[in-house]
Structure 1
Amino acid sequence: MTAFATVKPSKLSREAFVETFGGVYEHSPWIAEAVFDQGIGEEDDDIERLHARLAQVVRSAPRAARLALIQAHPDLAGKAAVRGELSAASTAEQAGAGIQDCTPEEFARFERLNAAYKTRFGFVFIMAVKGSDRQKILAAFEKRLNNTPEREFAQALAEIDKIALFRLQAI
């Protein structure tokens, strides 16, 4: 069990809780709002416990809400990244994987894979890139293109949960 270093979720007002944790899931403060509305206790000062509660809200959400959560994420090495339009967390995560250092050929490969993936699945490719590099990401992209739509939907949500845990740990 790991506690937050300076933030105690159990001591926050609803507004402060949502401000602090509303971005843990990309552009989806409704998840933090739902957890707060269910009640926050001292046990939620533990990162893993809070993460489990946030993830449970996602799992129990209607499919349309889960799809909207997936679609709230940017393409990896996509046009928004090139234009500097990503959230601060997404920018840091992609930079940590060296995506900004792609060669023109690698960017073109990302663009082709992003397009093929969206055509096949109807949403963006999501991968928790912390601790990875662009070669591993490209390999995962190609492998996951072979998944069934339902398997890939579940994989995207699992990756989002990993990202959320990394973001909680950064808080």
Structure 2
Amino acid sequence: MMNITQVNAMSPKAFIEAFGDVAEHSPWVAREADASRPFANREALVKHFETAIRAANRDAQLALIRAHPDLATKARLTEDSTKEQAGAGLNALTAEEFARFTDLNARYKQRFGFPFIFAVKGATKHMILDSFEARVGNDEAVEFETALSQVCRIFRFRIEDRVSP
């Protein structure tokens, strides 16, 4: 784990290497955040990542959302996603639970055109399924904003795992 002084001392290339993956397959977010260094503290670092996402155009935001994997999928995941989903028990679903996730993933993507995003760290599979059921009926604009907020929670958790307070 590094501290904020070490983060601020990184070259831009090292910063991108260290944080380019916290926003799933979207190193552009780290590049944007890097332009705001030095950061006063870890919270400021997180806020600049969020600012980068919020300032992006809708196409870039949608691409970022679409870069996230379906939950409880058999697809190959990033190391962070694998650990996060396993921590929520998504790697040990019953056949019925897996079928429910598969159905909800398909319905959600058909309705919104992007995957269901949920920051699973600290959540249980039951909490995730309940949220999934509730959100699949949301208005598209509400769900797009919810997805962006969940992306921000995901990279917050990932930064908190890498940078001390």
State TM-score, norm by structure 1: 0.91
C-alpha contact 2:84 2:120 (8 A) present in aligned 1: yes
C-alpha contact 1:4 1:169 (8 A) present in aligned 2: no
What secondary structure does 2:91 align onto?
A: helix
- Find the partner of 1:160 among 151, 156, 162: 151
1-side partners of 2:84 and 2:3: how far apart?
A: 21
2-side partners of 1:22 and 1:99: how far apart?
A: 25
C-alpha deviations, 1:19-63, integer Å up to 9, x for none? 001111000100111122x241152xx111001011001001000
Could you list the runs of 5+ residues in structure 2 that have no partner in the other structure?
none
**Who is 1:134 aligned against?**
125
C-alpha contact 2:116 2:147 (8 A) present in aligned 1: yes
Percentage identity across paired residues of the two chains: 46
- Find the partner of 1:18 among 16, 29, 32: 16
- Find the partner of 1:68 among 63, 67, 70: 63
Alignment of 1:18-37 (within 5 A): 18-36=16-34
1-side partners of 2:18 and 2:143: how far apart?
A: 29
C-alpha contact 1:31 1:58 (8 A) present in aligned 2: yes
What secondary structure does 2:22 align onto?
A: coil
- Find the partner of 2:7 among 9, 14, 36: 9
State TM-score, norm by structure 2: 0.94
Task: Give the residue type in structure 2 aligned to 1:72.
Answer: A
- Find the partner of 1:148 among 122, 136, 139: 139
- Count of matched residue pairs: 162
Matched, 1:41 2:41: no
2-side partners of 1:101 and 1:5: how far apart?
A: 35
* Structure of greater relative contact order (alpha carbons < 8 Å, 6+ residues apart): 2
1-side partners of 2:123 and 2:9: how far apart?
A: 35
**Who is 1:87 aligned against?**
78
Could you list the runs of 5+ residues in structure 1 that have no partner in the other structure?
none
Give RMSD over aligned pairs. 1.5
2-side partners of 1:126 and 1:6: how far apart?
A: 28
